[in-house]
Each structure stands twice: as structure tokens, then as C-alpha cells.
Amino acid sequence: MRILVIEDDTNLNRQIKDALTEGGYAVDVAFDGEEGHFLGDTEPYDAVVLDIGLPQMDGLSVLEEWRRAGKSMPVLLLTARDRWSDKVQGIDAGADDYLAKPFHMEELLARLRALVRRAAGHASNEITAGPVRLDVKAGKVTVDGQAIKLTSHELRLLSYLMHHKGKVVSRTELTEHLYDQDFDRDSNTIEVFVGRLRKKLPEEVIHTVRGLGYQILED
């Protein structure tokens, strides 16, 4: 899962980035509206954390531009302005959720998880595929009730595939959604991680669709 964080306060930006990275997300950051808008417009993100008060271009304008251009990724608005009229304005501009500053990082994470899950069409924090069960909130994976240990990269990969289960996910898509901008993208790494993941999971959980990519089948 790749998240874009647009927040002009460098400290807060870093804190959110750290918390999200720790939560298993690939994170890109922007410090002003224009840069943020450009990134959101050109890169595929699974969710965006967007501050309303931004230099160059305010958050609501960024959001409206994206929606006008047909970008539908879930957006969590971050703002100090917590009047209802601001909320209404934000939601009407196309935001999916709203978080008033100052907030607890756990709440940001919870809301972001819910947004990503909802966007993928999952109702609960647990996604299952056959014997494999992923607890999105805790970042834990069990097979037939037995916990298995995954590295953060493996967890990201499995999580993305499970969120999009039933769909064939290409290597490019995986690279785009699992790594941030600055990551050295070598398509072989995906194959390496898929290989390692397959060893820890039962057979036939991750299918290879020749020439197209990978797939976790619907139950």
C-alpha cells in the first residue's frame, strides 16, 4: 500500500511518514500543494493524507482538481479548522474522511486503514483467502489459526494482493504500490519477495498468471 502525505509542517510530515512506514505502508511526502497535486496526479496511491492549509495551492483545491481529473483514491483530510461548515466543504470537495488536528497517530492509522479497506470493498479489518487470514489492524497473518512471521516487505506484498483478491496484479502495479518514489525499483525484487512469501504460505495461495502478474483467488 502506497500512501501520499501532503503536509507543510516538516515535523508533522516526518511523524506521519514514520508512523505510516512503521505501519507497513510505502510513503511519499510533499510539503506544498503544487508538489502534492503533481504527485497525486502522476503516481498511483492507495490513499492520501492531505492537509487543508498548504502553501502554493490549498488542500481543497488540490482535492477538487484530482476529482475533476477522475482520480478516485481515498483522501483523508487533515485540518485545524474543525467547524462543521469546513467539514461539509471538505467532504463536498471529494474527501472520504476528515481528521481534526491535533490527533492521535493511532486514530490517523485507523482511519487510513478503514479508507483503504473500504476502497477495496472490504467491510472488516480481517481479510481471508482460504486458510490465510490477514488482520489489517494488527498486521498479523495466520494460516489455519497459526501465526506466521513475515518481514515488512512480505507483509506489504501479501496485504496488497489480499486487498485486491480476485484481481490479477501486475508486477509494475506491485512495484508502484509497494515502494515509495525513492526506492530503487528492480522488477526482480518483486519476484524474489513473491518466492519467499510462497515458501511461508500454503501452496496455491498466490497464483502466477503467466505474462500478466499474480493473483490470490476469491474464496
Partner 1 sequence: MRKGSIAFSLFWLSAGWLILALAGTAFLLTDLYSRALDGNLTNQLKFNIDALSSAVLDSSDPTFADVSVQDPRFSRASTGWYWVIRSDSGDPIATSPSAVGSVVPALSGDFDADNYRSAVLKDDAGNNIRAIERSTTNNGRPLRITVIGNLDDSLALVGQFRGQTLIVLGAVGIALAIMSGIVARLALRPIGRLGRAIEQVREGDAQTITGDYPREIAPLAEEVNELLRSNTQIIERARNQVGNLAHGLKTPIAVLRNEASAAKDNPLSRVVTSESDKMQQLVTTYLDKARIAARSTVVGKKADATMVMLRLVRVMQKLNQKVTIAFKRPDASIPWFRGDEGDLEEMAGNLLDNACKWSKGQIGVTMTSERTPSANFLVIRIEDDGPGLTEEEAKKVLRRGVRLDEKTPGSGLGLDIVKELVDVYGGSLQLKRSVLGGVLAELRLPAARVGLVRS
Residue 92 is a binding residue for partner 1 (CB under 8 A)? yes
Q: Which is nearer to partner 1, 113 or 177 (CB)?
A: 113
Residue 91 is a binding residue for partner 1 (CB under 8 A)? yes
**What is the distance between the alpha carbons of residues 176 and 182, in angstroms, rounded to a whole number?**
11
The secondary structure element, H or E, covering residue 203 is none
Shortest Cβ distance from residue 63 to partner 1 (Å)? Answer: 14
Residue 55 is a binding residue for partner 1 (CB under 8 A)? no
Q: Kindly tell me which residue out of 69, 80, 147, 148 binds partner 1, with binding defined by CB under 8 A.
A: 80
Closest of 63, 49, 130, 62 to residue 91, by C-alpha: 63
Alpha helices in 144-210 (DSSP H): 152-163, 171-178, 187-200
Question: Rg of the Cα trace of the chain?
Answer: 18
Residue 97 is a binding residue for partner 1 (CB under 8 A)? yes
Site for partner 1 in 177-196 (CB under 8 A): none
Shortest Cβ distance from residue 117 to partner 1 (Å)? Answer: 11
Burial environment of residue 79 by CB neighbours within 10 A (0 to 12, 13 to 18, 19 or more) = buried
Question: In the complex, which residues of this chain contact partner 1 (CB under 8 A)?
Answer: 9, 11-12, 15, 18-19, 53, 79-85, 87-88, 91-92, 96-98, 100-105, 107, 118
